[in-house]
Amino acid sequence: MKVLVLYEYPPTPGGLATQGDLLYKGLLEMGIDAHAVHFESAQEKEWYYRWFKPDVAVGVGYWGHTPQLVLHPQHFGVQPVPWLVADGYIANYQEVLNDLPLILVTSNWVKEMYVRDGIDGAKIEVLPVGCDTDAFIPYSKDDPKILSVRKALGISPDQLMILTVGGDAASKGAQEVMQALAIIDSKVPDWKYVCKVWPQPRTKLQNLADLEMATHLGIEKNVTYETNTISRSFMPYLVGACDIYAAPSRLEGFGMPQVEAGACGKPVVSIKAMGMLDTLIDGKTAFLADIAQKIVVNEVMLGTESGFEDRHKVVFKVPRIVDYRANVQDIAKYLTVLMNDAGLRSEMGKAGRIRVVKNFDYRVVAKRFVQLVGDKLGIH
């Protein structure tokens, strides 16, 4: 089997790039003849099509990347296998996607979104995102690298560190976590809440709004927003430095940071919805808050990024859920339990590590990919 992997290559620290890179790494370790190329690099992709002659081109992205991931390889006679996430609504390319023999998605919730919006479910297989369980491992609190992270963040040895990681924090549920922490502040040991967000113009206003909320709640001295550029090499130590990973995400097709936290032996607080239903086990590896609110819209404005003309309006016959909000009281309850019980934190963390290694290690995912391509496409 010869595989061309289309993703943001060379990889940035972002989720989609990491998703593609770990599949590529797993395929190479299996001895599969594979190459990686940037999904938007038409010239380089064509170069690989001509001399490498791949059996399949697996492309990482969302439905709006169909021209780059599906149509481009098809134009050169290469079988595309898109590996897709969802952003709440699949607005275009249904005909193109339904003509494919195999579509991969990152979770059962993502599959539900594609089926709801007109994609044939018989063509869709769930392939979870891989995790590098050799890098994301449990660390001792006394490890100098962990101590250095905590010191750099201004966290003392006796403080509990709660962590949220994302392009921005609000979409990962940070506002709900802050509201919960304000409720329980007097009932739990000394704590610091660290939000690691990616430095980008679109998140500056959101970060300010989040910090204003922290001030309004009276917990601003305990909340830190870190906006430095970091590499994937640093992430295992940042996650390893926390005591609890909290991300009751508002929209999450898989939840890679939650899985990485599990690999590091950290208990997780999240939401009982979306991709987390696949990746986390409520009460064993994580506590999942109930849904408090579903944000629905009746129409959306789309443009050229989605294959439409600019400012194209789509009106839904049935309103679409585009965001979720976790129950703040549930988050408060679960944080209280975890922050007051070191033994439970350790127990849930160990269970999380076992689950990730068994189900989401990048080598497991690569083997599953090869199996699916063999079973569905007859390519070996």
Q: What is the end-to-end Cα distance of the chain in Å, rounded? A: 5
CB distance 287 to 269 below 8 Å: yes
Phi, psi of 61 (to 5 degrees): 175, -155
The DSSP bridge pattern shows strands 244-246 and 268-271 to be parallel
pLDDT of the residue at 301: 78
Q: What percent of the chain has pLDDT over 90?
A: 86
pLDDT digits over 262-313, tens only? 999 999 999 999 999 999 999 999 999 999 999 898 887 777 777 777 887 8
Q: Amino acid identity of 116?
A: R
283 Ramachandran zone, left/alpha/beta (phi>0; psi -120 to 50): left
Residues 6+ apart with CB under 8 A from 321: 88, 294, 295, 296
Instruction: Tell me how crowded residue 71 is: count the other CB atoms within 10 A of its CB.
Output: 13
Tell me what the mean pLDDT of segment 237-260 comes to.
96
Q: Is the pLDDT of residue 320 over 90?
A: no
**Helices (H) and strands (E) in the chain — how many of each?**
15, 14
Q: Is the peptide bond before 10 cis (omega within 30 degrees of 0)?
A: yes
Tokens 């789309």 sit at which residue?
302
DSSP helix/strand/coil, 322: strand
Tell me what the mean pLDDT of segment 225-249 comes to.
95
Tell me what the mean pLDDT of segment 34-45 comes to.
98
Instruction: Describe the strand order of the beta sheet including 244-246 as a list of residue ranges.
Output: 223-226, 191-197, 160-166, 244-246, 268-271, 286-289
* 58 Cα distance to chain centroid: 19
Q: Is the pLDDT of residue 73 over 90?
A: yes
pLDDT of the residue at 9: 97
Half-sphere exposure of 112 (CA within 13 A, CB side): 13
CB distance 331 to 176 below 8 Å: yes
CA distances from 298 to 210, 322, 375 (A): 27, 10, 40
Band of the pLDDT at 318, cuts 50, 70, 90?
A: confident
User: What's the token pair of residue 86?
Assistant: 């969802």
DSSP helix/strand/coil, 373: helix
Say if residue 84 is exposed, middle or buried (CB neighbours under 10 Å; 0-12, 13-18, 19+): buried
Band of the pLDDT at 319, cuts 50, 70, 90?
A: confident
Tell me what the mean pLDDT of segment 176-185 comes to.
98
pLDDT digits over 127-173, tens only? 999 999 999 999 999 999 999 999 999 999 999 999 999 989 999 99
User: What's the token pair of residue 124?
Assistant: 């869709």
Q: How far apart are CA 293 and CA 271, in angstroms?
A: 11
pLDDT of the residue at 85: 94
pLDDT of the residue at 302: 73
pLDDT of the residue at 299: 81
Q: Is the pLDDT of residue 72 over 90?
A: yes
Domains with residue ranges and CATH for the chain? 2-130+361-377 (3.40.50.2000), 144-290+327-359 (3.40.50.2000)
pLDDT of the residue at 264: 98
Tell me what the mean pLDDT of segment 323-339 comes to.
97
